[in-house]
A and B are shown apart, each in its own frame.
Chain A
Amino acid sequence: MTYLNKPVLHHPKLKANALGLTHRDYEGKVSTLCAGCGHDSISAAIIQACWNLSLEPHRIAKLSGIGCSSKTPDYFLGPAHGFNSVHGRMPSVLTGANLANRELIYLGVSGDGDSASIGLGQFAHSLRRGVNMLYIVENNGVYGLTKGQFSATADRGSASKRGVSNSDSPIDMVSLALQLGATFIARSFSGDKTQLVPLIEAAILHKGAAFIDCISPCIAFNNHPGSTKSFDYVRAHNEAVNTLDVMIGRETITADYAPGTTREIVQHDGSTLRLHKLADDYDPTDRTAAADYLQRRHAKGEVVTGLLYLDPAPRDLHAGLDTVETPLNRLGDAELIPGAKAIERINAALR
């Protein structure tokens, strides 16, 4: 952290997006996290992605739980809506908010402790319900805020900062998400914004439950030899299965790729995801094959990253509940209160 606010002066040639905003307009308060914390890079990636997409900051809601990761929504998108829930309860609050106003863009920001321990149940249900959101877990393998205890995502056999080996089995949140029916699933690394930013963009555009497991080294408690969530370990074992370009409308991407290595997937909102295969045998639209691949590579100690699963035609919670297009929070008494006659009719039907 620093004690200073970021100066308002900015690069004189800073580009403006379609809304006339610069990326500096998407910043929040100055971070209070430890210097070098991976979570700050994820915040920067979110800022970059929202700027790239020309999202209106005040049409975004950021929700989080408890933890260093859950503190970060304060450090990006200052003008957005924010809700800091109790530990592990972000998914339910987000689900409720989304039910009340389906028009906002929902960013659920959480940690591995917040989502894989105390909040595991909430995490599971928000995904299986298909809440339209980006759920991002800033995964450092520890409870950073409470001084570095192993979290449930820490690999068995990995060492704590004081050299103690972890004896519990890890929870792989990506495998869980595959099983729970999330329709956009990715893993990335805070130290690789080239990969992370397009994934965040695509996940925001995805009209369903999008989940990103982002490895995010904890500089203070989990960046030592023996850790499997350190910068060095992830850099040495990062196995990206693909890279991604996000194209909106008629935008064209000029980069050349060898034939047969590129695959375009049109999302429901009209955006196109152009995937460049890095691993020959990886098919991101095959849920079971993906699960299998991930487990095989994880057993070898590799960290598989990239867009791991995508259902281009997702169903979201509102479709399941068949709610009206107008956000519920904009409906008046006339639309919401059925009236005595309607109640009588319902009651009669139940007799």
Chain B
Amino acid sequence: MQATDIANPDYFHKVVDCQWACPAHTPVPEYIRLIAAGRYTDAYMINWRSNVFPGVLGRTCDRPCEPACRRGRVEKAPVAICRLKRVAADKKDDVRAYLPKPAKQHNGKRVALIGAGPASLTVARDLLPLGYQVTIYEQDPKAGGMIRSQIPRFRLPESVIDEEVGYILGLEPELRLGRRVDSLKAVLAEGYDAVFVGCGAPRGRDLEISGRKEAAANIHIGIDWLSSVSFGHVGKIGKRVIVLGGGNTAMDCCRTSRRLGGSDVKVVVRSGFEEMKASPWEKEDAMHEDIPILNYMVPKAFLHKNGRLTGMSFEKVRAEYDTKGRRNLVPTGEPDVTIECDDVLVAVGQENAFPWIERDIGIEFDKWNMPKVDAATMQSTLPKVLFGGDAAFGPKNIIWAVAHGHEAAVSIDRMCAGLNPSQRPAPAVTVMSQKMGIHEWSYDNDVSNDARYKVPLRPKAEALGDIKLEVELGFDARLGFAEAARCLNCDVQTVFSASACIECDACVDICPMDCITFAANGEEKDLRARLTAPALNPTQDIYLQTGLKTGRVMAKDEDVCLHCGLCAERCPTGAWDMQKYLLHTTQAGHACRSSR
């Protein structure tokens, strides 16, 4: 095996599992330490720089970081990264003094953003302080996109949206609210230097089965219905409600129904409970509110009488796997199931729709009617038109929308400077020893043994009584501290210097996780099997260093390292050091233009 090149910024970045998994590469352990230190404002600003909406995301993020979190590999549950973000947002002081100010001077470049969702707002935030003149077109009366129109208030209070969207609007973009764009050609004709399409995936899929037309008055498309609720156009629903679908829209529909008069609300899904798209915690939240989830039931017909919906019938199916492992749903042969109801919410998927983009202006679409978008630059085949968020590759989530926004802003900034946007800027990285004394480090290396803490909830009866009451109360300072202490500080890297090592084995002996081995070198596969504890997780690297006196190599399995620093404390020669690796992605601005 070759010695590891730790100068490659990706190497240590990957060790910080959460940051690597976060689409916006938020420096997670850095902000978690700040929370533990009670420095909530600083923790917030670290987040704000990376993910733009810490208060929103601290309540709603899809949290790809958590399944990646190393803590989940060494004990039962990962660190509650997402809810710690909320602690920073809840407990921070007034941050306005730390935010960028509107540019004093325009740089002469004009950019149009279509849609005011998180993707567009991120582009706006990154470009406005640089002097760009930014115009935002939004069909809704307020900015925020689906954060405002879809996510129910009991998960995300409007004040949080107003605050964080407000920080961006404070940078003074030109806002054209209530203005639906019907022609991209017309927008391009206004001579913008770049146009960013952040219109989301605005169309909810329908279910064309028998009875759909006749019972239409009581059948609602989930996302349309949720936005009508959000904007106050709908205030109640029947007592008995069926929600069709297993994604997060379905989960929000059923829980919203419980608060608008639905006392008997059921979720029905075609496939199995485990395969549902909704996250485990979303399903838990729904079931906690007495909403049963019925699975393996395929909708057959809307039943109606005298032009009114009376219920639905379903065919019962089971999963069968063919030789290729593909799943088919086959009828069980049992009689159909009829469920009576007053209303049905159809939440069976979301689609992109670009009827307003002319097909003759140089933007190519694929066979699924999606624009061809470069995953690195976010550019379409018409280079000055960029896509991001749900509009780019289909419905994802807020944090991906933000990540796309940052990348698009970099592309626009480079393009406007006459640089090639395909050349991406390297991240900004600092690596610094954390040693303060023989056994003293500038981080808390005493690993907490606590299990994951639960976020306290408002009592159910109270929560169901008011659609605007936030269900989760959030961690208080004490719980936040205890949960923060569970973080393993994966960004404090074990850095090895072979020339200082005397091969005394002290690090091997003390390591609580059996991470370190001194052995004869070999092919990676062979070496992995020969380690103190075999390294069976191929997604995690082996840190290998050569140059030892005995000719052996030092091989460290990064997989389950606790970053406890005991190897470094036990090393008599300082061959091991604990060095904090802080990585910030490069955003639009001077730094992103330095590479040609």
Contacts and interface: CB of A to CB of B under 8 A. Distances in A.
Interface of A: 1-4, 6-14, 24, 31, 34-38, 40-41, 43-44, 190-191, 193, 217, 219, 223, 231-232, 235
A31 B536 CA distance: 30
Interface stretch (B327-335, B346-354, B471-479, B505-513): B505-513
Given A4-B445, A34-B572, A9 B512 contact: yes
A160 to B, nearest CB: 19
Candidate in B73, B446, B509 with the most chain A CB atoms within 10 angstroms: B509
Interface in B493-548: 502-506, 508-510, 512-514, 533-534, 536
25 contacts: A1-B439, A2-B566, A4-B439, A4-B446, A6-B566, A7-B512, A7-B562, A9-B449, A9-B512, A9-B513, A10-B512, A12-B73, A13-B534, A34-B572, A35-B506, A35-B570, A36-B502, A36-B506, A37-B572, A40-B509, A44-B508, A191-B505, A217-B504, A219-B504, A235-B549
Chain A residues touching B, majority SS = loop
B550 interface: yes
A159 B572 CA distance: 21
Contacts of A36: 502, 504, 506, 570-573
Contacts of B513: 9-11
Contacts of B508: 44
B564 interface: yes
Given A4-B446, A44-B509, A38 B562 contact: no
Identify the 4 closest CB pairs spanning chains A and B, nearest first: A36-B572, A44-B509, A7-B447, A2-B569
Given A2-B439, A35-B506, A40-B506, A9 B75 contact: yes
B512 A6 contact: yes
Given A7-B447, A9-B447, A35-B570, A190 B564 contact: no
Contacts of A232: 502, 549
B171 interface: no
Contact of B504 (A2, A12, A13, A41): A41
A232 B504 CA distance: 10
B560 interface: yes
Nearest to B574: A35
Contacts of B536: 13
A289 to B, nearest CB: 31
Chain B residues touching A, majority SS = loop
B74 to A, nearest CB: 5
Contacts of A235: 503, 549-550
Contact of B514 (A7, A11, A38): A11
Contacts of A190: 504-505
Given A7-B449, A12-B73, A44 B560 contact: no
Given A4-B564, A223-B502, A235-B550, 9 more contacts: A1-B439, A8-B512, A10-B514, A12-B74, A35-B569, A36-B571, A37-B506, A40-B506, A40-B570
B295 to A, nearest CB: 31
A14 B573 CA distance: 29
Contacts of B446: 4
A44 B505 CA distance: 10
A193 B510 contact: no
A191 B505 CA distance: 7
Given A11-B560, A190-B505, A219-B504, A4 B449 contact: no
Interface string B549-584: 110000000001010101001111100000000000
A246 B73 CA distance: 34
A4 B564 CA distance: 10
Contacts of B503: 191, 231, 235
A40 B511 CA distance: 12
B566 A35 contact: no
B560 A12 contact: yes
A219 B572 contact: yes
Contacts of A3: 439
Contacts, number: 94
Interface of B: 73-75, 439, 445-447, 449, 502-506, 508-510, 512-514, 533-534, 536, 549-550, 560, 562, 564, 566, 569-573
Contacts of A231: 502-504
A190 B506 CA distance: 10
A190 B503 CA distance: 11
Nearest to B571: A35
Given A12-B74, A14-B533, A7 B505 contact: no
A10 to B, nearest CB: 6
A53 to B, nearest CB: 19
B512 A41 contact: no
Contacts of B569: 2, 4, 35
Contacts of A44: 505, 508-509
B190 to A, nearest CB: 58
Contacts of A191: 503-505
Contacts of A4: 439, 445-446, 564, 566, 569
A10 B562 CA distance: 9
A1 B572 CA distance: 10
A11 B572 CA distance: 25
Candidate in B449, B512, B560 with the most chain A CB atoms within 10 angstroms: B512
A13 B533 contact: yes
Contacts of B504: 36-38, 41, 190-191, 217, 219, 231
Nearest to B504: A36
A41 B74 contact: no
Contacts of A38: 504
A214 to B, nearest CB: 13
Nearest to B449: A8
A43 B505 CA distance: 12
A41 B505 contact: yes
A11 B512 CA distance: 7
A25 to B, nearest CB: 13
A37 B505 CA distance: 9
A24 to B, nearest CB: 8
Contacts of B562: 7, 9
A298 B509 CA distance: 30
Candidate in A2, A37, A231 with the most chain B CB atoms within 10 angstroms: A2
Contacts of B506: 35-37, 40-41
Nearest to B439: A3
A260 to B, nearest CB: 25
Contacts of A10: 512-514
A11 B516 CA distance: 12
Nearest to A40: B509
A232 B536 CA distance: 34
Nearest to B534: A13
